Amino acid sequence: YALKDDSQSINYIVTMLKRLKKNINTKVMVVEDSLFFKKVLKDLLEIHHYTVFIANNGQEALKLLDENPDIKMVITDYHMPLMDGFTLTQKIREQYGKDRLAIIGISSEGDNVMGARFIKSGANDFIIKQTFLTEEFYCRVTQNIETLEHIQMVREAAIKDFLTGLYNRRYFFDMGKKLFASSRRDNLSILCCMIDIDHFKKVNDTYGHDAGDIVLKEVSLILKNRMRETDIVARIGGEEFCILAVNMDQKEAANIFDDLRKKIEQNQVDIGNKQIKVTISMGLNINSGNSLDEMVNRADTFLFQAKKQGRNQIVS
């Protein structure tokens, strides 16, 4: 690399090394029918430590993507048997948006029209095979991966609560509405559990706001770990949480939520100089309501009853 002075070189190398370290966890798929270019592209990517998947045609590519949803980039040829690169790009985009996956089109007969058509089909970028320089290739791959990572970071920040890492209120209602609709359509049960920490104001007043924050984080972790990956566990208010679960057996639900209540009651929270305990009250609404809002409101009414009846309990 021709760089002007040493400080510039060192900064550049440091940036490169950081990138290389990240690349090990970055999965890239090459879709190419030519043996020669398969090898060239694979080698180029592996020099930069990317984890490379190879598909020989569009069908294989779609299958591999299905099996490895964490693939971050697809580099696809245009001319291939069974399915051309435009069609593959369009098919991929039906399932994976630009916030999930970057696509780079490549072709040996590249001209501006081919690039434009790749991009119209949903690709992020286009490279012409005969003329691409290894450095340009690497720059474009890195650039597109970094853009994707930025999109994912921003998206993550928009849907997650910063303190606890749980989903936030906005995501709960956005995603919840969709889950509610699909569960009603597919005739699956859906439940909503509202959770509120008991006398939480006292924790803050007695031990300070930082201790309160530690309690919030620990309660969140217990909730998250006990629920399934597909359940939505959200912090919808200061010390209020809401869980949405589709297709959960009523008996299983009763077990899980009672288990949660006990786990939190028994858990010692280490706030630095002391161990403290908190309890939660819950309102559990299984399957009743004509909309997500109605479900949540009824769960909230149950929660209110649980508070009135003495806290540290579930009303359903």
User: Is 125 or 239 the residue whose CB approaches Mg ion more closely?
Assistant: 239
Q: How far is the CB of 303 from ligand GH3 (least distance, A)?
A: 9
> Roughly what angle, to the nearest 10 degrees, separates helices 85-95 and 112-121?
20
Q: How far is the CB of 196 from ligand GH3 (least distance, A)?
A: 5
218 binds, among ligand GH3, Mg ion, none (CB under 5 to 8 A by kind): none
* 77 sits near Mg ion (criterion: CB under 5 A): yes
**d(C-alpha 294, C-alpha 310), whole Å:** 25
Q: Which helix (H) or strand (E) holds 27?
A: strand 27-31
Q: In what order do the strands lie in the sheet with 51-55?
A: 51-55, 27-31, 71-77, 102-107, 125-128
* 310 sits near ligand GH3 (criterion: CB under 6 A): no
Q: Quick check: is 265 catalytic? A: no
Give the binding range for Mg ion (CB under 5 A) out of 119-127, 144-152, 206-214, 235-243.
235-243
**Cβ(103)–Cβ(55) below 8 Å:** no
* 218 sits near ligand GH3 (criterion: CB under 6 A): no
Q: How many residues bind ligand GH3 (CB under 6 A)?
A: 16
Residue type at position 240: E
Give the binding range for Mg ion (CB under 5 A) out of 32-40, 97-105, 123-131, 162-170.
32-40
- Owner of token pair 């003329």: 131
- Owner of token pair 């001319």: 79
So which residues are the catalytic ones? 239
The site for Mg ion (CB under 5 A) is made up of: 33, 77, 79-80, 196-197, 200, 239-240
